[in-house]
């Protein structure tokens, strides 16, 4: 704008800012007649025409403004917006590119360019433009929304979720945050889901269901005090919220408050008898076995994490059981000749990566459909069966030379049926290698983690009962949890 605007210019601008659009329009007409080479006059006249939805007139005025001052970023951006509304998308792209080249940097010009490219079905170019906009203005909601949409058009849904979160937070859209939390959980992105629920509950502090979900995600993230606080807030609002009782019970269990945890979990099961997770944790507390709940809980647990299982377990938690078992089998001489091998609870097929070179045949069994699909995708196994180990092995007599169960018994607890079924499936002299979490007592102990620990006395008793000799035994750190090593033990048994 001129450093010394004319009285007419100032009068027109004053009426424009006051909302007197009719008067302002009349004054702008006079102004551009008197000052035809003033780009600011043409720009403001064009901007007012946009406000009055006179798009053709607006474009004419903005064209004149950018002819007089090609680096007039505001005029270029608004001209691009008008061209978009008029359906002249290619022209809008050119205009936004010119605006983006103006100094200083204008992230809104890049966001406009991204939107125009998206309209032309050029998502990769749109994503690049939105990304550049965010490098200049990391909190720009329109750029986050546009980038999320472009990424999804390219099939990169998981990458899109953080940008949906940023947009929803910026717009304070509680409904979108709640929807995002569900989507993020379905895609096994608990951190995004947790952040979305934090935003949603901040906007809707009286939403008991959202608070219960937030507590559940805090529990899953090992933030037990946070989980307890969210569950109690939910129950103060709606005392019959079953999930809140379940979250509270599990959080109290992890904090060692066993009596209060039992009360909360019993109430969760009363309100929702189908809650397998609550029933499973209650059975761990009381010692009253609930096999159906245990299976349902384990299936759901692993089905939901198949996509990120290898990365989280191996890279983040230092999981080592498949490699330790392979080392112990090799030391025992069990891998000297190719064998028919069955991988019990095969998960994503990590054991297959170390056993395949030693297998004439490699089969897998897993309870969770997502894990079965992941193992099949890995392409190492001859056959992968979805189901419970004992049921799948039933009727398979002397079919295998080796059975491996890496971190499987820790989700089963009482393991006599697995030992019986495995012994039946093995040929004479067959090998059974597995890992457990260590219990220092004499039996099987349910833990607040939802898993079981097995004592050496218990394993020795099962081996003797079902015709196995213990060949090798090795203590090692199974994985990390809350920054601490979980004590594990690897066994190699042989059928006698």
pLDDT by residue for the chain (496 residues), tens only, comes to: 446 899 999 999 999 999 999 999 999 999 999 999 999 999 999 999 999 999 999 999 999 999 999 999 999 999 999 999 999 999 999 999 999 988 788 999 999 999 999 999 999 999 999 999 999 999 999 999 999 999 999 999 889 999 999 999 999 999 999 999 999 887 878 889 999 999 999 999 999 999 999 999 999 888 999 999 999 999 999 999 999 999 999 999 999 999 999 999 999 999 999 999 999 999 999 988 899 999 999 998 888 776 677 777 777 778 899 999 999 999 999 999 999 999 999 998 999 999 999 999 999 999 999 999 999 999 999 999 999 999 999 989 999 999 999 999 999 999 999 999 999 999 999 999 999 999 887 899 999 999 999 999 999 999 999 999 999 999 999 988 878 889 999 999 999 9
Whole-model pTM? 0.78
Which position has the token pair 């939901």? 304
The whole-angstrom separation of Cα 435 and Cα 422 is: 15
The whole-angstrom separation of Cα 75 and Cα 65 is: 7
CATH topology of domain 179-288: 1.25.40
The whole-angstrom separation of Cα 406 and Cα 462 is: 17
Of 115, 160, 106, the C-alpha closest to 136 is 106
The whole-angstrom separation of Cα 137 and Cα 81 is: 20
Which position has the token pair 């007197």? 20
C-alpha Rg value of the chain to the nearest Å:
32
Structure confidence at residue 3 (pLDDT): 60
SS3 assignment, position 431: strand
Domain spans of the chain, in order of start: 7-154, 179-288, 306-495
| Residue 421, Cβ density class (10 Å: 0-12 exposed, 13-18 middle, ≥19 buried) | buried
Residue 183: half-sphere exposure toward Cβ, Cα within 13 Å: 15
Contacts of 316 (CB under 8 A, 6+ apart): none
Task: Return the CATH superfamily for domain 7-154.
Answer: Tetratricopeptide repeat domain (1.25.40.10)
Is the four-CA dihedral 35, 39, 44, 49 of positive or negative sign?
positive
| Residue 103, Cβ density class (10 Å: 0-12 exposed, 13-18 middle, ≥19 buried) | exposed
Structure confidence at residue 305 (pLDDT): 73
Q: What is the dotted CATH code of the domain comprising 306-495?
A: 3.40.50.150
SS3 assignment, position 53: coil
Structure confidence at residue 105 (pLDDT): 83
Q: Note whether 7-154 and 179-288 share their fold.
A: yes
Q: Tell me the residue ranges of DSSP E strands in 355-425.
A: 359-366, 383-386, 400-405
| Omega cis (within 30) before 120 | no
């Amino acid at each position: 704008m001129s450093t010394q605007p004319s009285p007419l210019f100032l009068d027109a601008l004053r009426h424009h800012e006051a909302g007197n659009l009719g008067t302002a329009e009349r004054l702008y007409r006079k102004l551009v007649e008197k000052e035809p080479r003033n780009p600011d006059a043409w720009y403001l006249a064009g901007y007012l025409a946009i406000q009055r939805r006179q798009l053709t007139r607006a474009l004419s005025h903005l064209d004149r403004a950018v002819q007089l001052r090609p680096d007039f970023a505001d005029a270029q951006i608004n001209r691009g917006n008008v061209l978009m509304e008029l359906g002249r998308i290619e022209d809008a792209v050119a205009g936004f590119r010119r605006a983006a080249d103006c100094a200083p940097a204008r992230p809104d010009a890049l966001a406009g360019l991204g939107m125009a490219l998206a309209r032309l079905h050029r998502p990769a170019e749109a994503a690049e433009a939105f990304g550049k906009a965010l490098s200049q203005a990391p909190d720009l909601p329109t750029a986050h929304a546009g980038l999320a949409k472009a990424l999804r058009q390219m099939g990169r849904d998981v990458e899109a979720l953080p940008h949906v979160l940023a947009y929803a937070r910026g717009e304070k859209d509680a409904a979108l945050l709640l929807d995002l939390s569900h989507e993020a959980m379905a895609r096994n992105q608990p951190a995004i889901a947790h952040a979305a629920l934090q935003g949603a509950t901040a906007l809707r502090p009286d939403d008991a269901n959202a608070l219960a979900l937030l507590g559940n995600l805090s529990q899953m993230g090992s933030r037990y005090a946070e989980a307890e606080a969210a569950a109690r807030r939910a129950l103060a609002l709606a005392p019959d919220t079953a999930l809140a009782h379940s979250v509270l019970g599990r959080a109290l269990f992890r904090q060692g408050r066993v009596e209060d945890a039992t009360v909360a979990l019993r109430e969760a099961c009363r309100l929702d008898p189908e809650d397998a997770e609550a029933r499973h944790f209650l059975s761990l507390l009381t010692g009253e076995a609930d096999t159906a709940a245990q299976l349902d809980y384990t299936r759901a647990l692993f089905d939901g994490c198949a996509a990120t299982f290898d990365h989280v377990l191996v890279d983040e938690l230092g999981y080592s059981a498949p490699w330790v078992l392979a080392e112990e089998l090799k030391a025992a001489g069990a891998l000297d000749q190719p064998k028919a091998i069955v991988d019990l609870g095969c998960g994503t097929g990590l054991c297959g990566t170390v056993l395949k070179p030693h297998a004439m045949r490699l089969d897998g069994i897993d309870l969770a459909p997502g894990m079965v699909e992941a193992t099949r995708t890995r392409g190492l196994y001859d056959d992968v069966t979805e189901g419970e180990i004992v049921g799948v092995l039933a009727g398979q007599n002397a079919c295998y030379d080796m059975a491996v169960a890496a971190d499987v018994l820790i989700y089963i607890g009482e393991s006599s049926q697995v030992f019986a079924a495995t012994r039946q499936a093995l040929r004479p002299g067959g090998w059974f290698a597995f890992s457990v979490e260590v219990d220092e007592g004499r039996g099987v102990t349910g833990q607040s983690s939802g898993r079981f620990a097995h004592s050496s006395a218990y394993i020795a008793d099962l081996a003797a009962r079902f015709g196995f000799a213990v060949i090798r035994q090795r203590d090692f750190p199974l994985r990390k949890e809350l920054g601490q090593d979980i004590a594990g033990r690897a066994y190699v048994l042989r059928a006698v």
